[in-house]
Amino acid sequence: MGITLKLPEELASELAAEAARMGLPLAEYAVRVLATRQPVNPAIKTGADLVAYWQREGLVGSRPDITDSQQYAREIRAKAERRTHD
């Protein structure tokens, strides 16, 4: 089956660049991306599901500058408590 898609220019450029980096034709790379896709709204029912989702999306470990997450959370909370609303 054939499909024709109209992609935003920026997305098309990103796909073409990634295909070139992998040494693949654009069409083959696009098929691979679509074949390995994740559902748009995965069923997240437990904390473990949420962590697994974050890991799949590359979010876990994405902030190596935060060495103590609990302390970082306390700092964010303290800043929010001192924030004023005009």
pLDDT tens profile 19-47: 999 999 999 999 998 888 866 666 888 99
> Taking a C-beta distance cutoff of 8 angstroms, is the pair 38, 56 a contact?
yes
Cα separation, 73 vs 76, whole angstroms = 5
User: What is the domain partition of the chain in residue ranges?
Assistant: 1-37, 42-86
Cα separation, 31 vs 53, whole angstroms = 22
How many CA atoms are closer than 13 Å to the CA of 16, on its beta-carbon side? 7
pLDDT tens profile 54-69: 888 888 888 889 999 9
Cα separation, 15 vs 62, whole angstroms = 22
